[in-house]
Amino acid sequence: MILLKDSVFLLLNRSERQLDEVVIALVGKYTALEDAYASVLKALNHAALFCNRKLKIRFVDSTDLEENTKKEDPVKYHEAWQQLCSAHGVIVPGGFGSRGIEGKIAAIEWARKQSKPFLGICLGLQCAAIEFARHVLNYHDATSSEFDTTNHQVIIEMPEHNTGNMGGTMRLGRRTTHFVTDDSIIKKLYGNVDSIDERHRHRYEVNPRYIEEFEKAGMKFVGKSDDNQRMEILELDNHPYFVGVQYHPEYISRPLKPSAPYLGLIWAACGELKNVLMHVTKEQMATTDSTRKSSGTFSHKNLFRHT
């Protein structure tokens, strides 16, 4: 009971001290129904609370960012881009289907070129890979097999996926992701552990055929599955924070243990991530091995002094 009271007091105290605002543009296709992103919003709020920031979400319908909208409703198009461009950070969450995909890719291209903090979740990671393939690798027809058939399908369906079986062949539940390099922002945010367990819910993934080309051009896949064939985490070289994860870290985010990828996005959007990572040592980030590996999160008790 004492620990519970202490936790409640800590949350209330930090909530009352939130002064500065951080604005995050959520670019999705279900923005008319905000509850569709309930877990994502909670994870963003957990991270903002931890960073002593008042969170403001701007819901940007990805279809409003597309060229068709520019022709049919230029006012809506320019308003959507103004909402995106004036935000401090961008998140592209998960989803299914081809509608709004080009708007998501356009938003990701802008975030990449403008060095705007970006986090892609599940489909968001896949769109980031497609955008990079099109505009950096110059595979202009790059896409996902979920959307179309082209010469460069950088996103493919999983080998165990059977078309027509919507739920039974998804990659579901907690799976282990192994970090394959120490030179990783996201690994540091997780506390420099060797592996993490996070929850998955997807049918499509990055095509291993293109990994070497991606990495030579600066998109690094820093986290992989047990068999080293599934790309779980991507980061972009020479960018303040450009991260994509194939899993859904929001599912196990908690007020006192915010999700590491979400925390990184908020810190980067506040302009503090570099400073935080400079001051936090492995010992400060670490909790017990058993707690870290079972939760997929890390202890924040030594980070409060830096925020």
Q: Please, which residues have CB within 8 angstroms of residue 11's CB and are 6 or more apart in sequence?
A: 49, 255, 256
Catalytic residue among 66, 248, 270, 300: 248
The reply to whether 250 belongs to the active site is yes
Give alpha helix (H) positions in the chain: 2-16, 38-50, 67-72, 74-85, 101-113, 123-135, 185-189, 211-216, 260-269, 273-279, 282-285, 289-295
Query: Nearest CA to 218 among 242, 237, 235, 244?
Result: 237
Q: Distance (Å, rounded) from C-alpha 133 to C-alpha 268?
A: 25
Catalytic residue among 146, 198, 235, 250: 250
**Residue 124, helix vs strand vs coil:** helix
Q: What's 194's DSSP letter?
A: S
The reply to whether 200 belongs to the active site is no
Q: Distance (Å, rounded) from C-alpha 223 to C-alpha 123?
A: 16
Catalytic residue among 122, 146, 198, 200: 122
Angle at 84 between CA 80 and CA 85, to 5 degrees: 115
Tokens for 15, please give them. 């909530």
Q: Distance (Å, rounded) from C-alpha 200 to C-alpha 190?
A: 17
Half-sphere exposure of residue 297: CA atoms within 13 angstroms, side-chain side: 21
Does residue 68 contact residue 280 with C-beta atoms inside 8 Å?
A: no
The reply to whether 178 belongs to the active site is no
Q: Which residues are catalytic?
A: 122, 248, 250
